[in-house]
Protein backbone atom coordinates (compact mmCIF):
# COMPACT_ATOMS: atom_id res chain seq x y z
CA UNK A 1 0.00 0.00 0.00
CA UNK A 2 1.38 3.41 -0.91
CA UNK A 3 1.62 6.10 1.74
CA UNK A 4 -1.40 8.44 1.94
CA UNK A 5 -1.35 12.19 2.47
CA UNK A 6 -3.35 13.62 5.36
CA UNK A 7 -4.56 16.99 6.62
CA UNK A 8 -5.95 17.61 10.10
CA UNK A 9 -8.15 20.26 11.73
CA UNK A 10 -8.25 20.91 15.48
CA UNK A 11 -4.68 19.65 15.81
CA UNK A 12 -4.07 21.50 19.10
CA UNK A 13 -6.87 19.74 20.97
CA UNK A 14 -7.21 16.82 23.35
CA UNK A 15 -7.97 14.05 20.87
CA UNK A 16 -5.70 15.09 17.97
CA UNK A 17 -2.56 13.28 19.26
CA UNK A 18 -4.34 9.93 18.88
CA UNK A 19 -4.97 10.76 15.25
CA UNK A 20 -1.40 11.97 14.69
CA UNK A 21 -0.20 8.71 16.23
CA UNK A 22 -2.58 6.67 14.07
CA UNK A 23 -1.46 8.45 10.88
CA UNK A 24 2.16 7.79 11.80
CA UNK A 25 1.65 4.18 12.90
CA UNK A 26 -0.15 3.36 9.67
CA UNK A 27 2.88 4.73 7.75
CA UNK A 28 1.13 7.73 6.30
CA UNK A 29 2.08 11.39 6.19
CA UNK A 30 0.59 14.58 7.60
CA UNK A 31 0.97 17.34 5.02
CA UNK A 32 -0.75 20.24 6.82
CA UNK A 33 -2.66 21.11 9.96
CA UNK A 34 -5.21 23.79 10.78
CA UNK A 35 -6.18 25.17 14.17
CA UNK A 36 -7.20 28.79 14.84
CA UNK A 37 -5.45 28.51 18.22
CA UNK A 38 -1.72 28.14 17.80
CA UNK A 39 -0.89 25.82 20.72
CA UNK A 40 0.20 23.16 18.26
CA UNK A 41 3.70 22.18 19.43
CA UNK A 42 2.42 18.58 19.54
CA UNK A 43 3.19 18.50 15.81
CA UNK A 44 6.90 18.20 16.67
CA UNK A 45 6.27 14.80 18.26
CA UNK A 46 4.85 13.40 15.05
CA UNK A 47 5.19 15.53 11.91
CA UNK A 48 7.53 18.50 12.37
CA UNK A 49 7.62 19.12 8.62
CA UNK A 50 3.87 19.58 8.22
CA UNK A 51 2.56 23.00 7.18
CA UNK A 52 0.53 24.78 9.85
CA UNK A 53 -2.29 27.30 9.30
CA UNK A 54 -4.13 29.37 11.86
CA UNK A 55 -6.20 31.06 9.17
CA UNK A 56 -9.06 29.09 7.64
CA UNK A 57 -8.82 31.01 4.36
CA UNK A 58 -5.12 30.25 3.95
CA UNK A 59 -5.73 26.60 4.77
CA UNK A 60 -8.52 26.50 2.17
CA UNK A 61 -6.27 28.12 -0.43
CA UNK A 62 -3.50 25.62 0.31
CA UNK A 63 -5.93 22.71 -0.17
CA UNK A 64 -7.33 24.11 -3.40
CA UNK A 65 -3.81 24.21 -4.90
CA UNK A 66 -3.01 20.56 -4.08
CA UNK A 67 -4.32 17.48 -5.78
CA UNK A 68 -2.37 14.88 -3.84
CA UNK A 69 -4.31 14.84 -0.56
CA UNK A 70 -6.19 11.67 0.37
CA UNK A 71 -7.78 12.34 3.77
CA UNK A 72 -8.81 15.27 5.98
CA UNK A 73 -8.99 14.27 9.64
CA UNK A 74 -11.46 16.41 11.60
CA UNK A 75 -10.83 16.97 15.33
CA UNK A 76 -12.58 20.32 15.69
CA UNK A 77 -15.60 21.07 17.92
CA UNK A 78 -18.70 19.06 16.98
CA UNK A 79 -20.76 21.87 15.42
CA UNK A 80 -18.02 22.50 12.82
CA UNK A 81 -17.72 18.93 11.59
CA UNK A 82 -20.16 19.05 8.68
CA UNK A 83 -18.75 22.23 7.19
CA UNK A 84 -15.21 20.83 7.36
CA UNK A 85 -16.42 17.58 5.80
CA UNK A 86 -17.75 19.67 2.90
CA UNK A 87 -14.37 21.39 2.59
CA UNK A 88 -12.80 17.95 2.18
CA UNK A 89 -15.30 16.43 -0.25
CA UNK A 90 -15.52 19.56 -2.43
CA UNK A 91 -11.76 19.29 -2.83
CA UNK A 92 -11.81 15.62 -3.76
CA UNK A 93 -10.60 14.48 -0.34
CA UNK A 94 -12.08 11.80 1.96
CA UNK A 95 -13.01 12.88 5.48
CA UNK A 96 -12.25 11.05 8.73
CA UNK A 97 -14.43 12.75 11.29
CA UNK A 98 -14.46 12.45 15.06
CA UNK A 99 -17.76 11.58 16.74
CA UNK A 100 -20.48 12.78 16.47
CA UNK A 101 -20.37 13.50 12.73
CA UNK A 102 -23.19 16.04 13.13
CA UNK A 103 -25.51 17.32 15.85
CA UNK A 104 -28.78 16.73 13.98
CA UNK A 105 -29.82 13.75 11.81
CA UNK A 106 -31.02 15.89 8.89
CA UNK A 107 -27.49 17.15 8.33
CA UNK A 108 -26.46 13.59 7.47
CA UNK A 109 -28.77 13.58 4.43
CA UNK A 110 -26.88 16.44 2.78
CA UNK A 111 -23.54 14.81 3.49
CA UNK A 112 -24.64 11.50 1.98
CA UNK A 113 -25.77 13.32 -1.19
CA UNK A 114 -22.42 15.04 -1.35
CA UNK A 115 -20.63 11.69 -0.99
CA UNK A 116 -22.60 10.46 -3.98
CA UNK A 117 -21.84 13.53 -6.07
CA UNK A 118 -18.14 13.71 -5.26
CA UNK A 119 -17.47 9.95 -4.99
CA UNK A 120 -15.53 10.66 -1.82
CA UNK A 121 -16.31 9.12 1.58
CA UNK A 122 -16.97 10.22 5.12
CA UNK A 123 -15.63 7.91 7.82
CA UNK A 124 -16.29 8.20 11.53
CA UNK A 125 -14.57 7.20 14.74
CA UNK A 126 -16.65 4.99 17.04
CA UNK A 127 -13.74 3.21 18.63
CA UNK A 128 -15.76 1.23 21.17
CA UNK A 129 -16.88 -1.05 18.36
CA UNK A 130 -13.27 -2.13 18.06
CA UNK A 131 -12.85 -2.83 21.78
CA UNK A 132 -11.91 -6.54 22.15
CA UNK A 133 -14.23 -7.07 25.15
CA UNK A 134 -17.14 -5.53 23.24
CA UNK A 135 -16.56 -7.63 20.13
CA UNK A 136 -16.42 -10.74 22.31
CA UNK A 137 -19.65 -9.70 24.00
CA UNK A 138 -21.46 -9.08 20.74
CA UNK A 139 -20.64 -12.59 19.57
CA UNK A 140 -21.92 -14.03 22.84
CA UNK A 141 -25.16 -12.06 22.82
CA UNK A 142 -26.50 -13.16 19.46
CA UNK A 143 -30.08 -12.25 18.59
CA UNK A 144 -32.20 -15.02 20.05
CA UNK A 145 -33.02 -13.58 23.44
CA UNK A 146 -34.15 -10.29 25.00
CA UNK A 147 -31.79 -9.29 27.80
CA UNK A 148 -32.31 -7.14 30.89
CA UNK A 149 -29.43 -4.67 30.89
CA UNK A 150 -28.16 -1.93 33.16
CA UNK A 151 -25.56 0.37 31.68
CA UNK A 152 -23.59 2.93 33.68
CA UNK A 153 -21.28 5.36 31.98
CA UNK A 154 -19.59 7.73 34.42
CA UNK A 155 -16.72 9.77 33.11
CA UNK A 156 -16.05 12.81 35.30
CA UNK A 157 -14.99 16.12 33.82
CA UNK A 158 -13.62 19.09 35.75
CA UNK A 159 -15.09 22.55 36.08
CA UNK A 160 -13.53 23.69 32.81
CA UNK A 161 -15.91 21.49 30.84
CA UNK A 162 -18.88 23.77 31.43
CA UNK A 163 -16.96 26.86 30.29
CA UNK A 164 -15.61 25.29 27.10
CA UNK A 165 -17.45 24.59 23.82
CA UNK A 166 -18.28 21.17 25.28
CA UNK A 167 -20.50 22.81 27.89
CA UNK A 168 -22.35 24.80 25.20
CA UNK A 169 -25.24 22.69 23.96
CA UNK A 170 -25.36 24.49 20.59
CA UNK A 171 -21.73 23.52 19.96
CA UNK A 172 -21.49 20.05 21.48
CA UNK A 173 -25.08 18.78 21.56
CA UNK A 174 -24.91 18.48 25.36
CA UNK A 175 -23.63 15.45 27.27
CA UNK A 176 -26.08 12.97 25.74
CA UNK A 177 -24.63 13.81 22.34
CA UNK A 178 -21.03 14.61 23.15
CA UNK A 179 -20.39 11.76 25.59
CA UNK A 180 -23.54 9.65 25.44
CA UNK A 181 -23.06 8.95 21.74
CA UNK A 182 -20.45 6.30 22.66
CA UNK A 183 -22.92 4.61 24.97
CA UNK A 184 -25.88 4.74 22.60
CA UNK A 185 -23.86 3.56 19.61
CA UNK A 186 -22.63 0.68 21.74
CA UNK A 187 -26.17 -0.32 22.70
CA UNK A 188 -27.32 -0.29 19.09
CA UNK A 189 -24.25 -2.28 18.06
CA UNK A 190 -24.93 -4.91 20.71
CA UNK A 191 -28.73 -5.05 20.85
CA UNK A 192 -30.10 -3.82 17.53
CA UNK A 193 -32.66 -1.16 16.76
CA UNK A 194 -34.11 1.13 19.45
CA UNK A 195 -37.87 0.63 19.52
CA UNK A 196 -38.96 2.68 22.57
CA UNK A 197 -37.31 5.54 24.44
CA UNK A 198 -37.99 6.99 27.87
CA UNK A 199 -35.93 9.76 29.50
CA UNK A 200 -36.06 10.21 33.28
CA UNK A 201 -33.41 12.89 33.74
CA UNK A 202 -31.59 15.21 31.35
CA UNK A 203 -29.34 17.75 33.06
CA UNK A 204 -26.12 19.46 32.01
CA UNK A 205 -24.01 16.91 33.87
CA UNK A 206 -26.10 13.74 34.00
CA UNK A 207 -28.94 11.95 32.27
CA UNK A 208 -30.78 8.68 32.60
CA UNK A 209 -33.55 6.68 31.05
CA UNK A 210 -34.79 3.48 29.63
CA UNK A 211 -34.60 2.14 26.07
CA UNK A 212 -36.08 -0.96 24.54
CA UNK A 213 -33.97 -2.45 21.76
CA UNK A 214 -34.72 -5.44 19.53
CA UNK A 215 -32.74 -7.65 21.90
CA UNK A 216 -32.71 -5.86 25.24
CA UNK A 217 -34.43 -3.66 27.79
CA UNK A 218 -31.74 -1.18 28.86
CA UNK A 219 -31.74 1.04 31.91
CA UNK A 220 -28.99 3.62 31.33
CA UNK A 221 -27.22 6.24 33.37
CA UNK A 222 -24.73 8.77 32.06
CA UNK A 223 -22.79 11.25 34.17
CA UNK A 224 -19.77 13.54 34.15
CA UNK A 225 -20.15 14.31 37.87
CA UNK A 226 -17.40 12.65 39.91
CA UNK A 227 -19.77 12.30 42.85
CA UNK A 228 -21.55 9.58 40.88
CA UNK A 229 -18.47 7.34 40.87
CA UNK A 230 -18.82 4.47 43.32
CA UNK A 231 -16.62 4.82 46.42
CA UNK A 232 -14.36 1.90 45.65
CA UNK A 233 -13.46 3.46 42.28
CA UNK A 234 -12.84 7.02 43.42
CA UNK A 235 -10.29 5.60 45.88
CA UNK A 236 -8.25 4.04 43.08
CA UNK A 237 -6.73 6.23 40.40
CA UNK A 238 -9.39 5.25 37.93
CA UNK A 239 -11.60 8.14 36.97
CA UNK A 240 -14.16 6.39 34.83
CA UNK A 241 -16.70 3.65 35.16
CA UNK A 242 -18.08 1.96 32.09
CA UNK A 243 -20.13 -0.92 33.30
CA UNK A 244 -22.72 -3.13 31.71
CA UNK A 245 -24.82 -5.53 33.78
CA UNK A 246 -26.56 -8.21 31.78
CA UNK A 247 -28.83 -10.70 33.47
CA UNK A 248 -26.85 -9.82 36.63
CA UNK A 249 -23.36 -10.43 35.22
CA UNK A 250 -21.27 -7.27 35.29
CA UNK A 251 -18.86 -6.44 32.48
CA UNK A 252 -16.46 -3.55 32.97
CA UNK A 253 -14.95 -2.02 29.85
CA UNK A 254 -13.30 1.07 31.29
CA UNK A 255 -9.82 0.05 30.15
CA UNK A 256 -8.43 -0.10 26.64
CA UNK A 257 -10.67 2.72 25.43
CA UNK A 258 -7.78 5.09 24.74
CA UNK A 259 -5.74 3.04 22.33
CA UNK A 260 -8.11 2.17 19.56
CA UNK A 261 -7.64 4.99 17.03
CA UNK A 262 -4.85 3.21 15.15
CA UNK A 263 -7.08 0.16 14.77
CA UNK A 264 -9.86 2.42 13.45
CA UNK A 265 -7.43 3.90 10.89
CA UNK A 266 -6.24 0.47 9.79
CA UNK A 267 -9.83 -0.44 9.01
CA UNK A 268 -10.54 2.80 7.16
CA UNK A 269 -7.42 2.38 5.04
CA UNK A 270 -8.51 -1.05 3.81
CA UNK A 271 -12.02 0.17 2.99
CA UNK A 272 -13.70 -1.19 6.12
CA UNK A 273 -14.27 2.06 8.03
CA UNK A 274 -17.55 3.09 9.61
CA UNK A 275 -19.63 5.37 7.39
CA UNK A 276 -22.59 7.72 7.73
CA UNK A 277 -25.04 4.83 7.55
CA UNK A 278 -23.30 3.27 10.57
CA UNK A 279 -23.33 6.51 12.55
CA UNK A 280 -26.93 7.49 11.73
CA UNK A 281 -28.86 5.23 14.16
CA UNK A 282 -27.04 6.56 17.23
CA UNK A 283 -27.35 10.19 16.09
CA UNK A 284 -31.09 9.62 15.56
CA UNK A 285 -31.42 7.97 18.95
CA UNK A 286 -29.65 10.86 20.70
CA UNK A 287 -31.90 13.29 18.85
CA UNK A 288 -34.94 11.45 20.25
CA UNK A 289 -33.43 11.54 23.74
CA UNK A 290 -32.74 15.27 23.45
CA UNK A 291 -36.34 15.93 22.48
CA UNK A 292 -38.14 13.44 24.72
CA UNK A 293 -40.47 14.66 27.45
CA UNK A 294 -38.95 13.92 30.84
CA UNK A 295 -40.78 11.18 32.68
CA UNK A 296 -39.93 11.13 36.40
User: Residue numbers of the site for ligand NAD (CB under 6 A)?
Assistant: 9-10, 12-16, 34-37, 75-78, 80, 98-99, 125, 127, 178
Considering the complex, state which of residue 36 and residue 132 has its C-beta at the smaller distance from ligand NAD: 36
Integer Cα distance of 290 and 122 in angstroms: 25
Smallest gap from Cβ 261 to ligand NAD, in A, equals 7
Smallest gap from Cβ 9 to ligand NAD, in A, equals 4
Considering the complex, state which of residue 53 and residue 220 has its C-beta at the smaller distance from ligand NAD: 53
Smallest gap from Cβ 12 to ligand NAD, in A, equals 3
Considering the complex, state which of residue 185 and residue 216 has its C-beta at the smaller distance from ligand NAD: 185
Considering the complex, state which of residue 12 and residue 209 has its C-beta at the smaller distance from ligand NAD: 12
Considering the complex, state which of residue 70 and residue 98 has its C-beta at the smaller distance from ligand NAD: 98
Alpha-carbon distances, residue 272 vs 32, 39, 262, 263 (angstroms):
25, 33, 13, 11
* Strand partners for 211: 197, 218
Smallest gap from Cβ 164 to ligand NAD, in A, equals 6
* Strand partners for 223: 154, 206
Smallest gap from Cβ 83 to ligand NAD, in A, equals 9
Residue whose Cβ sits closest to ligand NAD: 13
Task: Show Cβ contacts of residue 252 under 8 Å, excluding neighbours closer than 6 positions.
Answer: 241, 242, 243
Cα-Cα-Cα-Cα dihedral sign, residues 82, 84, 90, 94: negative
Cα-Cα-Cα-Cα dihedral sign, residues 86, 88, 90, 94: negative
Amino acid sequence: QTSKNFLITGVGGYIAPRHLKAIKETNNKLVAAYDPNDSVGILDNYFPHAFYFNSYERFERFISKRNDIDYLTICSPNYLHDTQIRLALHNNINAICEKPIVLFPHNLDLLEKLEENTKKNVFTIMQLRYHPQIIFLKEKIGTKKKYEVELKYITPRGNWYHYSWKGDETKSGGIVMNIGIHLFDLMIYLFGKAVAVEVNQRDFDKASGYIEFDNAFVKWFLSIDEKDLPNNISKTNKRTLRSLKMDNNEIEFSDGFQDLHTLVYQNILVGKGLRIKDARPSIELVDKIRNAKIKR
